[in-house]
Each structure stands twice: as structure tokens, then as C-alpha cells.
Amino acid sequence: MSGLIGKKVGMTSIFDENGKNIPCTVIEAGPCVVTQVRTDEVDGYSALQLGFDDKAEKRANKAETGHFKKAGSSPKKKVVEFQGFEGDYKLGDTIGVDVFVEGEFVDVVGTSKGKGFAGVVKRHGFGGVGQATHGQHNRLRAPGSIGAASYPARVFKGMRMAGRMGGGRVTVQNLRVLKVVPEKNLIVVKGCVPGHKNAYVTIEK
């Protein structure tokens, strides 16, 4: 799937032609530089490696510096491979937000906000014990029984329990592109996308 690397700017809302208020997310997408071209002959598959967001020269190691110098580019903070690009792109080409058109649907991939160690009520929507009387003492948000007895004498894999919540790769599919602003490298999509403000996301179509 072809796409671009972007940075989440934040959320807002716009009105459509019928006067309906639509929540949307603004993403700064591109310009991305082609830092490597994968081919069937050399790599066994065809893809484009894109780089986004300049990194200071002193922050890049020698391997990164040499890699980006081949493309005639400064070091980049974020590098992602995309397959299925139409057209013949060469090393060092720049791809902008104009690859997207208003009205089409895209998938946005990002890293969700980390919530820390969360209990079962927050993490899985458990209801707790259900009441605060009849002898209940400080068990309101407890997980309750986890089901194991002397047989099978173990906890089944996948048991929903307390633990680290968020901070994982999340894909939101079929978000409609509401607006494309090429002069500011902005794309506005309907709905929300994972991650905090200024988090890196990939937009695939």
C-alpha cells in the first residue's frame, strides 16, 4: 500500500455542506524523501523507503549519515517502507501530500498513548463486584476469580487481567480524507487517530 509518513498536529472539527459538525484530525504529512528503492532483482520485492522529519547531523551515526547521503538527503528521524507506489520514483525524489485526494479513504497507523499499569475495570471494562454492601470490603474494582482449580492447575493463556495498557501499534481503517492543503503539507481526516500530539503516524491508501 502506498502512503506517507506524517505527524499528528491535533484534533478539531469542521462543518460540511449540510451544516453537520464533523470531528477530524489534522496531520502534517510529508514532504517525504525517497531514501531507498527496493527492487525485485536485488531485494526480492519492490518497495520505497521514505524518510521524514530532519534530524541534526550530530545526532546521526555514520551508518545513517552514509545511507542518507546516497539519496542526497539530510538524516531523517523516521524511516518507513511502503509497497505499491504507482509511478517511477528514484532515489532522492520528494513525495508530497498531493498523493491524496479529498473524499478517498485511508488507513492511519500509529502508537497509542501509554496509560501505564491499569486494572481490569479500566483495561477490560470489568464491572467490579457490583455492589458495596453485603459484606463487601475493598473489592469494588477487583478482578474476581480467574477460573482455575486443582485441574488444570494453571491460568489459561489470554486471561484478561491487570497490566500495562496502551503504548501499542494501532491501525484505524477507512478514515475519509476531508481536506488536503498542499502548500502547508496538511491532510485532514475524519475521526481520531492513535497517539499524542506530534506523534509519528503513517497514512496508507
Same domain, 32 and 102: yes
Parent domain of 71: 3-113+169-204
Q: Which three cell numbers stand for residue 195?
A: 497517539
Task: Domain count for the chain, please give it.
Answer: 2
Same domain, 102 and 134: no
Overall residue count recorded for the chain in this entry:
205
Statement: residue 62 has pLDDT above 90:
yes
pTM of the model: 0.86
Same domain, 48 and 81: yes
Same domain, 132 and 108: no
What's the rounded mean pLDDT across residues 31-48? 93
User: Domain for residue 46, yes or no?
Assistant: yes
pLDDT in tens, 167-179: 999 999 999 999 9
92-104 in b/e form (b: 16+ CB < 10 A) is eeebebebbeeee
- Where do the H-state alpha helices sit in the chain? 40-43, 62-70, 120-124
